[in-house]
Structure 1
């Protein structure tokens, strides 16, 4: 299911698939693509990239915990950094913000590796190296185009053409895994064609308080509430197979919007339902509390499996935007 390596220059995610992107993009469904002779010929290399995990250690070997938070506290931050388009500002914020700069763990989603839209930079590596942290990066997609909307006009061409999620740590990472999640929609339909699916990246962290497993996961936006629960269940099922049993910290962008966005019609119908319920009422009681009703199945499953959701989250607080 995963490949773990430690290198300082190249990575096992580098590939020779770029010359085939135009031909691969001619297919209008994943089913048609996977039935083709071209895909059969390239399947091994595609799967090697999509199942890969890159791990590198930029953290000092004997990192000490922040005295202000104590040796047993674990400080973590989750952030969807939108491909790393403003990477220099992101690095500056993570390194200077009075709270973020003290993070033991960063659970980051939407990171590019070799995409023209973000300057063909390896976003996860650059953040980790600048902050002196270890990182594990797992690609979710091999992008057959430069992206959607204005991204398609980005200067230059894609290099590795990868997009995924990462865990960064001030402390050593001992193991890492990549877990594929079922797609909410066919990623070969539409203009932004991609190979792959959303993935969770998991890493075992040697924290001063003891070993812990941490997960950065990005659930599908274009999906139903039940599908997002299903994706989370896949992650939890995988965690249940790992030995020895360790404390687990899960975070990321879960897209718990309260909407069924698997189709435009469902999203529009959902919007008018919320208007009928009263915009002010819905904002106060549901947008900021997805666990109360519309996303209850996901959150209740976490609690049923023993995860502490309520006392580790500030319910009713919106996402902090930069």
Structure 2
């Protein structure tokens, strides 16, 4: 019986046949190194010496080959670019134009994903199953706001007992509807096959220098890919500020100073998966409408620039800036499994620019669509699309301080809000918002002058897009396939409420609808859908029962995040649900 194994390592190619090693590479098939030879030998002794010598060299070379091959397998499980030293981070802040080696290192970091498939299973994994859908894949998306409430995030995904220990019995009393709903939503999160995370820290003081994606993946037994969008530089510069005369300023200084040995300053997007992640790519957008380095360093801060004049306290204003290197990007990863349509699905995590007009986000969307045009298998795109219709996401002073430094109680307790001149209004929404816009439904029609909606173009671009194989993103809404039996546009994939979509972002104390927005989305290319709203087409791997989980986000006092998690279920086969009759286009 002929056994054949081919190994390839750089330019060398070997074929092992019945315990013989044949060199097939012309580079090393020369007179100095022949393992299989037809040359005659002069005598038996010479023949034996040659054989021993050649066998020894062959085995050594094969050993080195196997070491290299195994190293390649290891790198497939773990891949990572190089980190910056603290001195390099200082240079990245101080020098607008950095040295060529440092620029190259930065480019590698912003284009090379960190991948860890150490939880890949040798046996096929089981998918979730329900009577309505059969076997299905559950995808969760959550902007976790840096991971500031990491323990609560982990508890929500990991175990009921861990989450129950966090619940305040006054807000979530035993047997209450609020408690039941929170635990029920946590159970939904525990069924996730794929988790897409936005705003993920690594090596930041505000999140205790955690590697948020890796820590969560380890505790959940999942594989992960992490893509750096930004290298955060403001903490590096603020750590070098001299002591101040004022007690308040010194309080802030002590808060922001970082440990150079632990600081990495990385912030980005992540994909966690029960399945191994293949062909992982990190692609920064070519079009970056906001320069996070130049603009922030020059003082164009979101909390300054005419919104709240706090420039009297120059140092304190400086703490609100986010000087960064990098920009918005897309992280792509494939999951291969014979049970999936066409054997593969591409998971795409992205985060579009918030400091940009709607038209500029459409430019970034078009770049993303160009990346996926040729895919002939299912695709899931999820993330914070910042569809606020504004060029800034609404926020509050309280939230912005927490994002920079972590726990916000210090500045309330010490009266820093008064030092900034904002008194008791720290929880009010920043002005500049348009109160009358369709805050919960950015998909509504754009009617110039009468009812303008600048975000509409984003959704028409998606709806009109076609993949090279004719496939389309699913915009359907079916009463039997959506939460609360909604039938309007996108209700199968993104939960709708009584008016518009259930919002995914809100400030802590919104004024009616002001400060609530639908920013986070999941869009799906199913297995076989040619028209976005065609109810007679297949529903295999189409989105079902898209849901926004509100209660789980409220299990800690200041909320886990300023964004709520969303999820969708994708049946591997045609679901058992009865087909609805076509009732017209949504």
TM-score in terms of structure 1 length: 0.82
In 2, Cα distance between the equivalents of 1:162 and 1:45?
14
Q: CA, structure 1 residues 147+199, in 2 after alignment: closer, same or farther (shift >3 Å)? A: farther
In 2, Cα distance between the equivalents of 1:145 and 1:269?
25
The aligned length equals: 293
Residues 1:196 and 2:348 are matched in the alignment = no
Kept in 1: contact 2:90–2:236 (CA 8 A):
no
Write the deviation string for residues 25-77 of structure 1: whole angstroms up to 9, x where unpaired. 225xxxxx2xx3x3324111111111111211224343211233766422111
Kept in 2: contact 1:54–1:137 (CA 8 A):
yes
In 1, Cα distance between the equivalents of 2:330 and 2:392?
21
SS of the equivalent of 2:130 reads: coil
In 2, Cα distance between the equivalents of 1:170 and 1:117?
28
Provide the residue aligned with 2:347 in structure 1.
214
In 2, Cα distance between the equivalents of 1:7 and 1:116?
28
Kept in 1: contact 2:235–2:258 (CA 8 A):
no
Question: Higher helix proportion, which one?
Answer: 1
Gapped regions of structure 2 (runs ≥ 5): 1-73, 160-185, 239-251, 297-320, 394-429, 445-452, 466-471, 476-489, 505-549, 554-559, 561-586
Residues 1:45 and 2:149 are matched in the alignment = no
Provide the residue aligned with 2:42 in structure 1.
none
Residues 1:75 and 2:75 are matched in the alignment = no
In 1, Cα distance between the equivalents of 2:290 and 2:208?
28
Provide the residue aligned with 1:30 in structure 2.
none
Instruction: Please tell me whether Structure 1 or Structure 2 has the larger radius of gyration of its CA atoms.
Output: 2
Q: CA, structure 1 residues 14+88, in 2 after alignment: closer, same or farther (shift >3 Å)? A: farther
In 1, Cα distance between the equivalents of 2:503 and 2:107?
37
In 2, Cα distance between the equivalents of 1:121 and 1:261?
28
SS of the equivalent of 1:146 reads: helix
Pairwise CA distance, 1:80? 0.5
Kept in 2: contact 1:147–1:192 (CA 8 A):
no
Q: Which sits farther off after the overlay, 18-27 or 88-97?
A: 18-27
Q: Which sits farther off after the overlay, 76-85 or 179-188?
A: 179-188
Equivalent residues in 2 for 1:9-158, closer than 5 Å = 12-27=80-95, 33=96, 36=97, 38-57=98-117, 58-61=119-122, 62-68=124-130, 72-96=135-159, 97-146=186-235, 153=256, 155-157=258-260
SS of the equivalent of 2:128 reads: coil
Residues 1:160 and 2:264 are matched in the alignment = yes
SS of the equivalent of 1:260 reads: coil
Aligned match for 1:239, one of 355, 359, 372 = 372
In 1, Cα distance between the equivalents of 2:99 and 2:456?
39
Q: CA, structure 1 residues 144+241, in 2 after alignment: closer, same or farther (shift >3 Å)? A: farther
Aligned match for 2:503, one of 311, 318, 322 = 318
Gapped regions of structure 1 (runs ≥ 5): 28-32, 263-267
Residues 1:299 and 2:459 are matched in the alignment = yes
SS of the equivalent of 2:206 reads: helix
Q: CA, structure 1 residues 12+51, in 2 after alignment: closer, same or farther (shift >3 Å)? A: same
The two structures, once aligned, show a CA RMSD in angstroms of 2.8
Kept in 2: contact 1:60–1:132 (CA 8 A):
no
Aligned match for 1:261, one of 392, 403, 406 = 392
Q: CA, structure 1 residues 16+25, in 2 after alignment: closer, same or farther (shift >3 Å)? A: closer
Q: CA, structure 1 residues 125+259, in 2 after alignment: closer, same or farther (shift >3 Å)? A: same
In 1, Cα distance between the equivalents of 2:200 and 2:473?
27
Q: CA, structure 1 residues 313+147, in 2 after alignment: closer, same or farther (shift >3 Å)? A: farther
In 1, Cα distance between the equivalents of 2:473 and 2:439?
22
Residues 1:288 and 2:393 are matched in the alignment = no
In 2, Cα distance between the equivalents of 1:318 and 1:39?
45
SS of the equivalent of 2:278 reads: strand
In 1, Cα distance between the equivalents of 2:381 and 2:353?
16
Q: CA, structure 1 residues 256+148, in 2 after alignment: closer, same or farther (shift >3 Å)? A: farther
Write the deviation string for residues 209-263 of structure 1: whole angstroms up to 9, x where unpaired. 2310011111111111111111111111111255xx211001111111121339x
In 1, Cα distance between the equivalents of 2:99 and 2:324?
13
